[in-house]
Structure 1
Amino acid sequence: MAAPSVPSVPSATAPTFRIDIPLLPESAAGNALQFIDLLRSANVLASLRAGAASPRFTWRVLDAAGRPLMALPGPLAVYSQADEGTQDAPSGGLAYALFLPSFHAADIPGIRNVASGHQRLSRQVGMALDQGQRVLTVGNGAWLAASSGRLQDRQASLPWFYMAGFERDFPGIHLVTDQDVTDDGPWLSCALPHGLSDMATALVRHAMGDELAQVCASVFRPDPERARAALQAHAQQHIPATRDSTLARAIAFMESHLDQPYSLARLAEAAAVSPRTLLRHFQLELSQSPLDHLHSLRCARAKVLLEVTLESVPSIAVACGYADPAAFRRIFVRYTGMSPAEYRKRHALRAPRRRWRVEVR
């Protein structure tokens, strides 16, 4: 959707709000993953509006005993540790809230068995509430929160099929029948997972203020009227392409002229700014010079050519804008940590040429 962008690195003094997310063996883990995605989106929106000084959410995924779970591998790592671009450790920031997803149980007796089997977690909820934290529940996760004994006279939202059983177990808690999400003091509850975006927006409002909450609400909620207006405005060319920025124009020019000699003046002309302004944009937004970024783009092309072709290193150097193969090798080592030959040896997707020959006997 946009020009290349680099997430702003949060300031060491930027406020952070930690959400603890205990997962039981019975928990609906998808609730937790969806909620973390909403926290990540809130962080992005906060960063877009306030940069490095913006407040942020961090989170810890815990087991039933309150111990942090080990980091998940690969792209799932952000679900068990702090958001990318966040310098704080997963345990960093102000302990702000507990999020209790729903859990799998066949019926009301099954729900009661799960709740009674995790009394330690209910006590943790009570201690968190005593310390001024909030508790967020989805569906039958309300049983674990209510078992803490700290939520008498509060209101909560539950699915209709749980209401009778919950009312018998906790007559002092008032069930709301006309809304899917209830925000009552320290307790935010949603009946079903489709209410998680509204719950996340309410959390943003409490932690970061009304202005950012309004932004989150406009992004998180479907809005057919805005969708139609956006398409209509685009069709009438009232909304310019997001890539039409100084940095985007410069990078687009680089990408289409990788094999040509570098000229700062020519690049600035393509971006429609002065060379000095162009240098400032690259330093401010990418923390590097245009030439450094060009080298990284050229090395990315070189990697592909080394992987999928049998072209010689000097030929690949020319295809990537380097007339001198020795200079290409030096720059490739600087950006990848290995020589072109070593990279090809490790990553080539083509068999060596000698293996193409079939001997006729």
Structure 2
Amino acid sequence: MHTIAVLALDRVIPFDLATPIEIFTRTRLPDGRPGYQIRVCAEQPEIDAGAFTLRAPWGLEGLEAADTIIVPGTADPRAPLAPAVRDALRAGATNGTRIASICSGTFPLAATGLLDGLRATTHWIAADLLAAAYPAVQVDPDVLYVDNGQILTSAGAAAGLDLCLHMIRRDYGSAVAADAARLSVMPLEREGGQAQFIVHDYAPTPQGSTLEPLLIWLQDNLGSDLTLADVAAHAGTSTRTLIRHFREQTGTTPLQWLHRARIRRAQHLLESTRHSVERIGAQVGFGSPTAFRDRFKRTTGVSPQTYRRSFS
């Protein structure tokens, strides 16, 4: 039987804490025996969990003999990590313990240095913050989870469930994992990554920017087959100057901004209308349905049809 230690940090997110407890507790082997023993551990006996206070049965000593340590998300990912917690996680890694994080739990895990040089993920809304705070970590905001072998990270709370099922499959095989997935009313694998959940807003533009009139014009003409030369001509400048101004004021290029705006408009139409995929592709300026489908899937990780089924 595997021992799972769930490490509750201060201001732990309740759903992130409950997810691994629920799914691993339900896991049964083919002969009916439980697959996991669960320990809830914390540095202090009582932990702030937002709407309630949690009393942890185990202290940090509960991490020592665990086969897996899970770090749930915390409502304050930038809070400093207690030295005792940092040392306990590092000691677990040194002893070969598998360590996984859920959602913003990637932040305290990154604070130990255990993610340096590794690919990792977190909730997409916090990905830029993670990359800025821990530049040695290779942040991938588009995936549901990342398995580096001993160290694993996941995106939001639902992606934590995906990660738990993945670890069950690693431990006991696909049949046991599929049974755990059915009990959780979840597919064993979800199509696409968290890119499909990201709101692809237009790149920010400073108020009063000289580009503001041009950006309004671009939004009004997303359905036109615009080239870089067309945009530069409307702006009354050279393509080189236009690109420089765009990079300075939006951090991206005119065509990248245009593609992002088109995908965002397409997402809105898929969510709010019953127009065909072909019609939506034409409405947002793609020359062919194939080009639209390819660009949409590269941006969101799923096809337009799958996105519509999930979000309409």
TM-score, normalized by length of structure 2? 0.50
Query: What is aligned with 1:50?
Result: 31
CA offsets per residue over residues 253-302 of structure 1, 9 Å max, x none? xxxxxxxxxxxxxxxxxxxxxxxxxxxxxxxxxxxxxxxxxxxxxxxxxx
Give the match's secondary structure for 1:135. Answer: strand
Q: Percent identity?
A: 16
Q: Matched residues in 2 for 1:33 and 1:162: separation?
A: 21
- Looking at structure 1, the residues matched to 40 and 112 of structure 2 have their Cα atoms a distance apart, in angstroms, of 20
What per-residue deviation string (whole Å, max 9, x for no partner) do you get for residues 24-67 of structure 1?
2311133212321111111xx32xx223xx462112112225x7
Gaps of 5+ in 1: 1-15, 71-76, 83-90, 106-110, 224-361
8 Å Cα contact 1:59/1:81 also seen in 2: no
Deviation of 1:81 (Å) = 7.0
**Residues 1:20 and 2:1 aligned together:** no
Give 3-state SS (helix, strand or coil) of 1:50's partner.
coil
Say if 2:102 is the partner of 1:123.
no
Structure 2 residue 89 is the aligned partner of structure 1 residue 104: no
Task: Give the unaligned 5+ runs of structure 2.
Answer: 48-53, 188-312
Deviations 1:88-107 (A, max 9, x none): xxx699621111111112xx
CA RMSD across the alignment = 3.1
Measure, in 1, the Cα distance between the counterparts of 2:41 and 2:56.
Answer: 9
Write out per-residue CA displacement over residues 178-231 of structure 1, whole angstroms, 9 at most, x where no aligned residue: 2222222112222111112211111212322333223334443546xxxxxxxx
After the TM superposition, which segments of 4 or more aligned residues of structure 1 sit over 3 Å from their partners? 79-82, 91-94, 217-223
Q: Which structure has the bigger radius of gyration?
A: 1
Cα distance, 1:176 vs structure 2: 1.9
Does 2:11 align with 1:30? no
Aligned pair partner of 1:154 in 104, 111, 118: 118
Matches within 5 A, 1:206-355: 206-222=170-186
Matched with 1:175 is 139
CA contact (8 A) 1:154 1:174 kept: yes
1:296 alignment counterpart: none
Paired letter, 1:24: L
Please give the secondary structure, in 2, of the residue aligned with 1:127. helix
Q: Is the 8 A contact 1:18 1:92 kept in 2?
A: no
Corresponding pairs, count: 179
Instruction: Give 3-state SS (helix, strand or coil) of 1:95's partner.
Output: coil
The amino acid of 1:128's aligned partner reads G
Output the CA distance in 1 between the equivalents of 2:157 and 2:4: 18
Q: Which amino acid aligns with 2:10?
A: P
| Aligned-residue offset at 1:152 | 2.0
The amino acid of 1:146's aligned partner reads: A
Question: Does structure 2 conserve the Cα–Cα contact (< 8 Å) formed by 1:18 and 1:95?
Answer: yes
C-alpha spacing 1:203/1:81, structure 2 compared with 1 (3 Å):
farther
2:255 aligns with none
State the alpha-carbon separation in 1 of the partners of residues 98 and 87 from structure 2. 14
